[in-house]
Amino acid sequence: MTPTVSNNLESDKSRSKGKRKVRQAIVVSKSGNKSLVAKIERRFRHPLYEKVIKKYKKVYVHDENNIAQIGDIIEICESRPLSRMKRWYLVKILGRIDLEKQRKEEITADLLESNQSNNQ
């Protein structure tokens, strides 16, 4: 019996590099030239209490063209170590959120909550 050889080069390349994680994140800050800091949100259900829990992870991302701004929703992909802390690179920008508007809504919600607790 002779071993079969696959002619599909793409599958051989992907097999050799392995699967890379692709995540969506929000840009938190710009940290120098061609670098930014992004926050990845992970949601999961608690095994015992079954409440949905949010966990965040801050990662350093390589932005080759310096196109991402603070508040952008981006897609990032895992890569080899690019520097001491950068392990991800920017794939594309998916959208933008208005951080000032979001902060104002959070502040007003906190004020309303504190007023209700004071009235009771």
Distances (CA, A) of 69 to 25, 34, 76, 99: 12, 11, 14, 11
Q: What is the pLDDT of residues 87-103, one digit of tens each?
A: 999 999 999 877 667 77
Asked, for residue 42, whether it belongs to a domain, the answer is yes
- Percent of the chain at pLDDT > 90 equals 62
- pLDDT band (50, 70, 90) for residue 6: very low
Asked, for residue 99, whether it belongs to a domain, the answer is yes
Asked, for residue 2, whether it belongs to a domain, the answer is no
Domain total of the chain: 1
Distances (CA, A) of 54 to 75, 99, 109, 117: 19, 19, 19, 25
Q: Using alpha carbons only, how large is the chain's radius of gyration in Å?
A: 21
- Token readout for 92 is 């594309």
User: Which residue range(s) make up the domain with 95?
Assistant: 19-115
- CATH number, domain containing residue 25: 2.40.50.140
pLDDT of residue 84: 94
